[in-house]
Amino acid sequence: MKRIYFFLITFMLCTVGFAQQALWGNSPIVSPDIHEDNTVTFRINAPKADKVQITGDFLPTQKIKTQRGEYDAPGAADLIKNDKGIWEYTTKNPLSPELYSYSFIVDDMRTMDPANVYMIRDVATVTNVFLIGGGRADLYKVNKVAHGNVSKVWYNSPTLGIDRRMTVYTPAGYEVGNKKYPVFYLLHGMGGDEDAWSELGRSAQILDNLIAQGKAKPMILVMTNGNASQEAAPGESSLGFKSPSMQLPKTMDGSFEESFPDVVNYIDKNYRTIKSKQGRAIAGLSMGGYHSLHISKQYPDMFNYVGLFSAAIMPNNNVKSAIYENFDEKIKTQFNKKPALYWIAIGNKDFLYKANKDYRDYLDKNGYKYTYYESEDGHIWKNWRIYLTEFVPMLFQ
Amino acid sequence: MKRIYFFLITFMLCTVGFAQQALWGNSPIVSPDIHEDNTVTFRINAPKADKVQITGDFLPTQKIKTQRGEYDAPGAADLIKNDKGIWEYTTKNPLSPELYSYSFIVDDMRTMDPANVYMIRDVATVTNVFLIGGGRADLYKVNKVAHGNVSKVWYNSPTLGIDRRMTVYTPAGYEVGNKKYPVFYLLHGMGGDEDAWSELGRSAQILDNLIAQGKAKPMILVMTNGNASQEAAPGESSLGFKSPSMQLPKTMDGSFEESFPDVVNYIDKNYRTIKSKQGRAIAGLSMGGYHSLHISKQYPDMFNYVGLFSAAIMPNNNVKSAIYENFDEKIKTQFNKKPALYWIAIGNKDFLYKANKDYRDYLDKNGYKYTYYESEDGHIWKNWRIYLTEFVPMLFQ
C-alpha cells in the first residue's frame, strides 16, 4: 500500500472553517493573557463595537439597586482598543491566586470570550474561567500527582421513584487491592446539581492534591443532586437541552433529606466502603449545608463528621415535612451521640451570616460542641473551595 | 430553633446578579426555540448591533476560497430585528432529526448564544448545540432507560511514561453480579481527545439506547486519548487552562499505536472483561480510524472487530516507526486470522473518500474481506454518530 499524505492540511482546513470563517484572518488572539507578575490582559476582537466591558469576580463588586433592595454584583471595567484594533483590558494589580470567572459585555450584550474555550456553567449562567496559581489555589490545579477517577453514576432512588445521577470520586489506588474507604458526601447549593462541586468546586483536584501531600486520608467523595425532582443536571436527563431553572420543585421541602439513605445504601453496596458512622462525613454549601444539617440530625447514627458551608439553616414556615419536626429533640439526640466534628463556616459578608450566628447561639446555649471557621467575603465559590480545603484534612483522622 | 426564611429571595438576587446585571431587564429570551413542526427560531438581544448572523451545520454549506484551495464551510444566515428589538432567525424548513451546532456572528464577532447554556468544545472551538428528535436522533437523547456510568479514568502508560486519562462507559447493571463484558475501544480524530466521543459523539446515549432496545450487547466502551504527548484533554491535565492546539506532537507517528497494549492491559486488569480477541472491538473516526487500522494490524490477535470511520489510511512518507513497516505482510497476517468484522465507512463528500477507495481496492485485490458502508456528506460528526449506531449492533453477536 502506497503512502499518501494529504491528510493533515486538508483536515485542518475543514475543521478550522467553523471557527474562523473569515472572522479572524490574522494571528489568534490570546485571552486571558496571564503575565509573569499575575496581572492579566483580556482581549477581544469586536471591530465594530462602540463599547466593550469585562465583568468578573476579580473586579471590585458594585452595588445594584432593585425593587427588593441593594445587593453586590461583580464589577465591570472598560476595555480600550489597542493599535491593532483589538479591545484590551489589563488588571491594575496582580491578581491573587484563585479560580476566577468573567464575561465580556459588547455593546450591552453579554458574551463569552471567543479566545478562551474554558467555561463553566453554574446554575443557569455560563462564564469563562481562568486560574492564577500559587498558595491555596495550587490545590485547585491538576498537578502531576496520582489522580482519582471521577464517575457519573446512575442509581435508583426507591424513595423518589426515579433513576438519578451523581458524581463519584474514587481516590488514586482504589482499583487495586481490597482496602475499604471512608466516604464523604458533598452537597451543592440551590440551582446547582451533581456537576457543581467537580466543576467550579474543583473537588477532584483538591482531593488529589491533599491526598498526595499526605494532608487528607484517601476517601471516596460522593456528590449528589439535591433537587429531588431532577434525574440529573441540565442536559443530562430526559428533559434534554431544556433551559435550566432556578426554581425547581422539591428542593428544600424534606424530599431530598428523606431519600438520602437511598444514596448511602447504593454507595455501600457498590463501593468498598467503611459501612459505619465512623467512616462517613457529610457537608454542603448553602442549600447543601441546610441538607447536611437536616440529614445528619434525621439520621444521627449515619455521619460522624458534618460540615455546614455558608448554610441555610431553617426551613420556610410553610413547609410541612416530618424531616423538620421536633428540631430541638433531634439536634439533642445528634449531639448526645457526639459527632467527631460539627463544623460551621461562613464569610463575614454572607447574607446568611446572621442566620448562622443565631444557630451558633442556639448550639452554644445548649452546650453542643462545634467548630467555627469565619472567612472574608460573601456567598461565593471562592469561600466554598476554601472551606473544602479546610474541612477535608480533618476527616477520618 | 425558630424557622426563618429569607433565604430563597436573597439567594436568587445574589446569583442572578452575574447573569443579568442590568443587561436583560425583561423577560428571558428563548433560543433556540424549537417549534412543533421542527422549524427553529434563534434569538439574540444585541441592541446596538448593525448586523447579526447565525452560522451552523443546519445551513447549506458555503464555498470558502483560500490560498490552498476551495473548501466547504458551514453556511450563514442573517437575523433580523423583531418588533421588540430582538434579533431573530427562523429556519425556512423543518430541520431533520439531528444534533446541530451553531454560533452567532454579531458585527463580525463570533459569539455564543447567551440564551443557550449547552455548548460543546470540539478541538479548539466551542459551539452551542441543540437536538431535533425523531428517527435515528432519538438514539442521541437521554431517554428513560437504564443508564450506564461514564468515568474519567487515569491509567499509567509504561510505554509513554506518563499517567493518562480516558473515558470509560460501563453498561447499566455492570455493578451487580459477576458477568464478564466485551470491550469496545473507540478512538477520536485529530485535535480531539478522550472527551470527544462522549460529548459530540453521544456515545453513552447511543449505547444506553441500543442496549435498552436489545439491539446491542451490553459492553464496556473505552474512549482513549490518541495524542500520545497529552496526559488528558485540554483543561484536564497539568498544562492547566492552556489554549488547545490542533498541532500536537506524537499523534500519527506510531507512538499511540505502540502504547495501546497499556490501555488494554489496564482495562483487562481493572474491569470484568472478556480477555480475548473474541471480546474486543476497535474503531475510530478520521485519525482514530487510522489508529484503529494500524493498531489492529500490529496486534492481529487483539481485536475481532475493526471499524474505520472516515479514516485516514497511510502515514506521512517522512514518518519512521516500526508500527508502519511491513504493511502488506501485517495486513495479510491480520486478514488470514479472519476478523469477525472489518468495517469501512465514509461519506461520499469526504476529502478522504479517494484514500479509502484506494484502500478498498487494495483489500479487494488481495481478497481480504471487509464490509463497506457509504453515507452522504463529508468529514462531520453527523456521519460519525451514524457509523457508531450502525457498527455497535454488529459487535459480539
ipTM: 0.93
Residue B224 is classified by DSSP as -
Which is it for strands B149-157 and A149-157: parallel, antiparallel or unpaired? antiparallel
A174 three-class SS: coil
Mean predicted confidence (pLDDT) in A102-128: 93
Q: What percent of chain B has pLDDT over 70?
A: 93
Residue A177, pLDDT score: 85
pLDDT tens, position by position, A174-208 = 998 899 999 999 999 999 999 999 999 999 999 99
A392 three-class SS: helix
Task: Please name the residue of chain B whose CA is at the shortest distance from the CA of residue A29.
Answer: B243
User: Could you tell me if B99 and B200 are in contact, meaning their C-beta atoms sit under 8 angstroms apart?
Assistant: yes
Mean predicted confidence (pLDDT) in A60-77: 80
pLDDT tens, position by position, B122-148 = 888 899 999 999 999 999 999 999 999
pLDDT tens, position by position, B61-90 = 888 777 767 777 788 999 999 988 899 999
Cβ pair B48:A45 closer than 8 A: no
Mean predicted confidence (pLDDT) in A127-151: 98
Cβ pair A141:B238 closer than 8 A: yes
User: Could you tell me if B12 and B4 are in contact, meaning their C-beta atoms sit under 8 angstroms apart?
Assistant: no
Q: Which of B81, B64, B82 is nearest to B72 (CA)?
A: B64
Residue A323 is classified by DSSP as G
**Least CB–CB distance from B246: residue in A12, A241, A324:** A12
Q: Where are the alpha helices (DSSP H) in B69-228?
A: 203-212
Cβ atoms within 10 Å of B295's Cβ, excluding its own? 27
Q: Is B75 exposed, middle or buried (0-12, 13-18, 19+ CB in 10 A)?
A: middle
Rounded to whole angstroms, what are the CA distances from A305 to A21, A301, A391, B242, B384?
Answer: 55, 11, 9, 37, 48
Task: Give B24→chain A minimum CA distance, Å.
Answer: 9
**How far is C-alpha B9 from the geometric centre of its chain's CA atoms?**
41
B164 DSSP β-pair partners: B155
**Least CB–CB distance from B1: residue in A64, A148, A314:** A314
Task: Please name the residue of chain B whose CA is at the shortest distance from the CA of residue A121.
Answer: B117
Residue A65, pLDDT score: 79
Which is it for strands A109-111 and B371-375: parallel, antiparallel or unpaired? unpaired
Q: Which of A151, A152, A148 is nearest to A207 (CA)?
A: A148
**What is the spatial distance between Cα A99 and Cα A382, in angstroms, rounded to a whole number?**
8
Residue A18, pLDDT score: 46
Task: Give B304→chain A minimum CA distance, Å.
Answer: 22
Report pTM. 0.94
**Residues ≥6 apart with Cβ < 8 Å to A361:** none
Kindly list the residues from chain B whose CB atom is less than 8 angstroms away from the CB atom of residue A141.
Answer: 238, 240
Cβ pair B4:A123 closer than 8 A: no
Task: Locate the DSSP E strands across chain B.
Answer: 33-34, 40-44, 52-56, 62-66, 69-73, 75-78, 80-81, 87-90, 98-106, 109-111, 119-122, 125-132, 149-157, 162-170, 183-187, 220-223, 280-285, 305-309, 341-347, 371-375
Q: Which of A310, A237, A304, A255 is nearest to A275 (CA)?
A: A304
More confident residue, B313 or B61: B313
pLDDT tens, position by position, A161-178 = 999 999 999 999 999 889
Which is it for strands B280-285 and B305-309: parallel, antiparallel or unpaired? parallel
Torsion angles phi and psi, residue A350, rounded to 5: -70, 140
C-alpha grid cell, residue A190 = 440551590
**What is the spatial distance between Cα A219 and Cα A201, in angstroms, rounded to a whole number?**
17
Which is it for strands A109-111 and A98-106: parallel, antiparallel or unpaired? antiparallel
Mean pLDDT (chain B, rounded): 92
Cβ pair A4:B314 closer than 8 A: yes
Cβ pair B64:A143 closer than 8 A: no
Kindly list the residues from chain B whose CB atom is less than 8 angstroms away from the CB atom of residue A144.
Answer: 163, 238
Task: Give A221→chain B minimum CA distance, Å.
Answer: 14
Mean predicted confidence (pLDDT) in A333-357: 97
**Residues ≥6 apart with Cβ < 8 Å to B101:** A18, B56, B57, B120, B122, B127, B128, B129, B200, B381
Mean predicted confidence (pLDDT) in A116-144: 95
**Residues ≥6 apart with Cβ < 8 Å to A352:** A286, A310, A311, A312, A313, A346, A379, B7
Q: Which of A242-246, A296-300, A306-310, A372-376 has the lowest mean pLDDT?
A: A242-246
Confidence band, pLDDT 50/70/90 cuts, at residue B8: low
**Least CB–CB distance from A317: residue in B5, B107, B149:** B5
Q: Annotate A174-186 with b (16+ C-beta within 10 A) or e (fewer).
A: beeeeeebbbbbb
Task: Give A65→chain B minimum CA distance, Å.
Answer: 10
Cβ pair B19:A313 closer than 8 A: no
B154 three-class SS: strand
Task: Please name the residue of chain A whose CA is at the shortest distance from the CA of residue B319.
Answer: A3
Task: Give A178→chain B minimum CA distance, Å.
Answer: 13
**What is the spatial distance between Cα B171 and Cα A270, in angstroms, rounded to a whole number?**
14
Cβ atoms within 10 Å of B104's Cβ, excluding its own? 28
Confidence band, pLDDT 50/70/90 cuts, at residue A5: low
Residue B28, pLDDT score: 82
Cβ atoms within 10 Å of B79's Cβ, excluding its own? 23
Residue B247, pLDDT score: 78
ω into residue A339 within 30 of 0, thus cis?
A: no
Kindly list the residues from chain A whose CB atom is less than 8 angstroms away from the CB atom of residue B6.
Answer: 351
- Torsion angle of the four alpha carbons A382, A386, A392, A397, in this order, in degrees rounded to the nearest 10: -170
Q: What percent of chain A has pLDDT over 90?
A: 83
- Name the strand (E) or helix (H) holding A342: strand A341-347
C-alpha grid cell, residue B179 = 458477568
Confidence band, pLDDT 50/70/90 cuts, at residue A64: confident
Task: Please name the residue of chain B whose CA is at the shortest distance from the CA of residue A113.
Answer: B111
B99 DSSP β-pair partners: B131
Mean predicted confidence (pLDDT) in B270-291: 98
Torsion angles phi and psi, residue A386, rounded to 5: -60, -45
Cβ pair B314:A49 closer than 8 A: no
Task: Please name the residue of chain B whose CA is at the shortest distance from the CA of residue A332.
Answer: B1
Tell me the torsion sign for CA atoms B55, B60, B65, B71: positive
Rounded to whole angstroms, what are the CA distances from A334 to A299, B99, B190?
Answer: 8, 51, 56
User: Could you tell me if A167 and A192 are in contact, meaning their C-beta atoms sit under 8 angstroms apart?
Assistant: no
Residue A12, pLDDT score: 52
Kindly list the residues from chain A whose CB atom is less than 8 angstroms away from the CB atom of residue B359.
Answer: 1
Torsion angles phi and psi, residue A334, rounded to 5: -60, -50
A308 three-class SS: strand
Cβ pair B10:A351 closer than 8 A: yes
Cβ pair A144:B238 closer than 8 A: yes
Total CB pairs under 8 A between chain A and B: 314
Rg of chain A in Å (alpha carbons): 23
Mean predicted confidence (pLDDT) in B243-256: 90
Kindly list the residues from chain B whose CB atom is less than 8 angstroms away from the CB atom of residue A191.
Answer: 15
B102 DSSP β-pair partners: B56, B128
**What is the spatial distance between Cα B259 and Cα B249, in angstroms, rounded to a whole number?**
15
Residue A89 has pLDDT above 80, yes or no: yes
Residue A83, pLDDT score: 86
Rounded to whole angstroms, what are the CA distances from B178 to A222, B273, B326?
Answer: 24, 10, 41
Which is it for strands B162-170 and A220-223: parallel, antiparallel or unpaired? unpaired
Residue type, B251: T
Task: Please name the residue of chain A whose CA is at the shortest distance from the CA of residue B267.
Answer: A175
Residue B5, pLDDT score: 52
A281 DSSP β-pair partners: A184, A305
Cβ atoms within 10 Å of B300's Cβ, excluding its own? 17
pLDDT tens, position by position, B300-310 = 999 999 999 99
More confident residue, A247 or A53: A53
**Least CB–CB distance from A71: residue in B13, B74, B312:** B13
Question: For the packed helices A287-298 and A255-270, what is the interaxial angle rounded to 10 degrees?
Answer: 70
ω into residue A32 within 30 of 0, thus cis?
A: yes
Q: What is the 3-state secondary structure (H, E, C) of A74-141?
A: CEEEECEECCCCCEEEECCCCCCCEEEEEEEEECCEEECCCCCCCEEEECCEEEEEEEECCHHHHHHC
Residue in the structure block whose three cell numbers are 501485517: B330
Residue B108 is classified by DSSP as T
Residue A16 has pLDDT above 50, yes or no: no
Q: Which of B199, B140, B185 is nearest to B396 (CA)?
A: B185
Task: Give A86→chain B minimum CA distance, Å.
Answer: 11
**What is the spatial distance between Cα B206 and Cα B210, in angstroms, rounded to a whole number?**
6
Task: Give B131→chain A minimum CA distance, Å.
Answer: 7
User: Could you tell me if B187 and B206 are in contact, meaning their C-beta atoms sit under 8 angstroms apart?
Assistant: no
